[in-house]
Structure 1
Amino acid sequence: MSGSSTVADQHADCAEERLITKPFVVVSLSAFAFFMYIGTLVPLVPLFIEGPLKGGELALGLNAAVFALAAVFARPLLGRLADRYGRRSIIIGGALMAAAGGMLMSQIDSLGFLMALRVLTGVGEAAVFVGSATLIADLSPRERRAEGASYFSVAVFSGIGVGPVFSEWLLDDVNFERTFIAAGGFAILAAVIAIFAPARVESPEDSESTVDSGGHAAPPVRALAESGIFKIIHPAAILPGVVLAFGVGGLTTFFLFIPEYSRDNGFANSGLLFLTYALVSLVIRIFGAKLPERLGPRRSVTIALVSMAGGLAVFAAAPNVVGLWIGAFLIGLGAAFNYPSLMALTVNNASDADRASAISSFTMFFEIGSAGSGLLIGGFAQIVGKQVGFLGGVVSCLIGLWLLRTKLAPAGSDVGSNRTERKSDIQLAG
């Protein structure tokens, strides 16, 4: 009888654990406002570089790399600051720093000054993302973290999707100054909303094998985290992060090349393509938020990488209006599945005590992927042109697919299927 009671109690506890709470909504709204800022810059900065600043594809790649590398080097410190001083403080500070960078871009006239300001915005973006993503993980029940990451990413993708449409409308091809200033306004709004977010959330102690009774990561994760490079990069984040980075390489190719490429192939501007990409991702993440957990990391991330590779290949093979629509749809489909499962794998292999550091390390691979692809694929496209350059993004996605299916989640593995493991534990307890 006691075993049956235990099973019932555990099921009841799972049913009572709410995911969507007031703090969850506040953090998501702040993230939406901030990624409206990021989305506004997505087409604006490349057009500014290739227009008034007279740069080429390599300058586009350098822009992505500078932004990303600044965020990469800042993230280890940001994770520790978030653990020590709370998540809210770095969200507010990062949003204000990014706002300053965006607004100052309205006053510059050289690539050198632009790159300096991209450093400022890169550090600010890293701070906001680390603080927000960590709070969302703090607020999500353990067995619903992939679902929580999906809902949170709705805010991120809404901003990134709507921002370019707003940017292209306000820009009207010539009004760069007012558009940069408006972008900074969204970042300031994000900081104001974040004032109402919790500084930190104390989570229940983990009971999985990676966490001991004191809430600290158990061997081998703890031993790794205390040695060598793992003092900077959390070991739980490495394999999921590397796979993420190669997927981000494909997405970065889309972000960098589409603003000008769409104008050369039948579109007045890129806004509708970014909106299509974002809407596809949003619909899947809202109505299919539980899919990453049900499919498991191997299948869900495979869908992501194959879809993004397919979209980029379509851009290269069909440089026309129909090809651009199809490619944007496939990119959106891939983006919907790329992040949640990999994020959940990372978080569930870190303790409560170092969760912010693990998430900081994992999200750092966004910038690693962006920097690497910006330099390599940007340089490649400088030689062969944007149309063939899209194939560089295809290669990036295919490398990520190989790593996923041979290293992170090989055939027959049950990596990351925490819900399955919990059900087995309950059955054993019964």
Structure 2
Amino acid sequence: MKLPAFYVRNEGVLPLDKPKLWTKDFIMISSTNFFTHVVFYLLMTSIAMYVITAYHASQGMAGLAAGIFVLASLIARLFAGKYLDKIGRKQMLVGGLIVFLAVMLLHFKADSLLYLMVLRFIQGAMHGVITTAAGAIVADIIPNERRGEGTGYYATSMNLAMAIGPFLGILITRFADFHMIVLVSSIIAFIDLISGILLSVPKPAAGHAKVTEMARFKVIDYFEPAAVPISGAVFAVTLAYSSVLSFLSLYAKDIGLTGAATYFFLVYAAALVITRPFTGRWFDERGANVVVYPLFILLIAGFVLLSQAHSGWMLLTAGALIGIGYGTVQSSFQAIAIQLSPPNRKALATSTFFIFLDLASGSGPYLLGTVAGLMDFRMLYLAVSGWVVLCIAVYYAVHGRRAAAGKNKTAAESKF
């Protein structure tokens, strides 16, 4: 018997012959995302130490030198999302990459803390421009039938950078000076630019009407309302994860596991890459809830294990659980934000999502640092696991309940 062109699979209708995902352009845009974030995380792990040693700055100023990058990125996203289709997606991407590389090279001449701060701010703004443009481009490149899988693989490029960047930063800081960090970062930024130039960008869904609409000044020009609820959920989860980025090294020093902590993010990335093919496919075939709820359980288990770590294997196992949990929840939420938004507002949906993510990444260290002053790190990570439990309720309220209702409706209709 000849099979129909489409068949019902739980939450929706999927084609038997799925469209190709791993195209040249998907690989190029994922590479651009990867290299941009390698530079970001490489500098984030080394800039504070450099500011303290080179300029004899306080820890507060060192923290500002690191955080001003994220602040600038957040501000830039507000405007990049609004003018993305008006300027042109590839034009904005390549323009951002050129300035990003130029500012990186200017770090060789950073002879004062103020000058370095200005460079960090400009480069952070370009990071916001690049990642917003790249996120909008990949949203058009990924076929709708493989949205969860494709978004998951794209997010993996950032997750890999989250492991490789800090590893390179720690390694170079140990054996060389800051000029070597700038040199390596500049080489990576140059490769990043080449990837962007080689990219072919599909025509966006928005046409002339979109440009006219964006010419008016309205709040809706900066945010996609349909993406705000799930973006709020990623804000809550990222607050929890920021505790790892901010305090893992200090915690590892306190418990005598600095050696194991060096490999924490490598294990994080490895676990995420191994599981990504399954979780992305399950998202598309079985729906968000089937993937997200178990991932929350893994994330909670990871923070509990981290809070009780007394050996290297416990610390690294926690890294694997947190990697699978947070890394996949983040990419799943991004896919949901795009799915819920109109086709001609994918760029703003992506911008909205990362504005909330950046806000959590920038404010989390300060908020959790205040909490950390009231308790030790073991209690902090245990408290964070409790916060993730609350995140489950947030997800259920903003999307999980509706997704479950939609699945039940589709299942009922498929019986007739």
TM-score normalised by the chain length of structure 1: 0.80
Partner of 1:209: none
Q: C-alpha distance in 2, partners of 1:232/1:56?
A: 36
Q: C-alpha distance in 2, partners of 1:300/1:110?
A: 49
Partner of 1:242: 232
Q: Does 1:301 align with 2:292?
A: yes
Q: C-alpha distance in 2, partners of 1:184/1:260?
A: 29
More moved, 133-142 vs 314-323:
314-323
Structure-2 change in CA distance of 1:161 and 1:395 (3 Å) = same
Structure-2 change in CA distance of 1:255 and 1:103 (3 Å) = farther
Contact between 1:58 and 1:375, CA under 8 Å: does it hold in 2? no
Q: C-alpha distance in 2, partners of 1:172/1:274?
A: 17
- Could you say what secondary structure the match of 2:264 adopts? helix
- Could you say what secondary structure the match of 2:46 adopts? helix
Partner of 1:163: 165
More moved, 255-264 vs 237-246:
255-264
- Could you say what secondary structure the match of 2:203 adopts? coil
Q: C-alpha distance in 2, partners of 1:406/1:237?
A: 14
Alignment of 1:12-411 (within 5 A): 15=17, 17-48=19-50, 62=64, 65-105=67-107, 108=110, 115-172=117-174, 175-202=177-204, 229-264=219-254, 265-268=256-259, 270-318=261-309, 320-382=311-373, 384=375, 386-391=377-382, 393-394=384-385, 396-410=387-401
In structure 2, give the amino acid aligned to 1:135: I
Partner of 1:220: none
Q: C-alpha distance in 1, partners of 2:47/2:351?
A: 26
Q: C-alpha distance in 2, partners of 1:12/1:305?
A: 27
Q: Over aligned residue pairs, what C-alpha RMSD do you find?
A: 3.7
Offset of 1:370 from its aligned partner? 0.8
Contact between 1:61 and 1:377, CA under 8 Å: does it hold in 2? no
Q: Deviations over 1:366-390 (max 9, x none)?
A: 1011122122113333554555444
Structure 2 unaligned spans of 5+: none
Q: Deviations over 1:248-293 (max 9, x none)?
A: 1122221122234434523347441111111111111135431223
- Could you say what secondary structure the match of 2:340 adopts? coil
- Could you say what secondary structure the match of 2:280 adopts? coil
Q: C-alpha distance in 1, partners of 2:209/2:400?
A: 25
- Between the two proteins, the alignment pairs up a number of residues equal to 405
In structure 2, give the amino acid aligned to 1:297: A
More moved, 83-92 vs 131-140:
83-92
Offset of 1:242 from its aligned partner? 0.7
Q: Deviations over 1:4-55 (max 9, x none)?
A: 97758x9896615222211111112222222222232343235446766677
- Could you say what secondary structure the match of 2:404 adopts? coil
Q: C-alpha distance in 2, partners of 1:93/1:133?
A: 15
Offset of 1:235 from its aligned partner? 0.6
Q: C-alpha distance in 1, partners of 2:181/2:346?
A: 37
Offset of 1:169 from its aligned partner? 2.2
Contact between 1:61 and 1:378, CA under 8 Å: does it hold in 2? no
- Percent of counterpart pairs with the same letter? 20
Q: C-alpha distance in 2, partners of 1:61/1:401?
A: 31
Structure-2 change in CA distance of 1:60 and 1:270 (3 Å) = farther
Structure-2 change in CA distance of 1:255 and 1:52 (3 Å) = farther
Offset of 1:241 from its aligned partner? 0.4
Contact between 1:161 and 1:275, CA under 8 Å: does it hold in 2? yes
In structure 1, give the amino acid aligned to 2:97: A
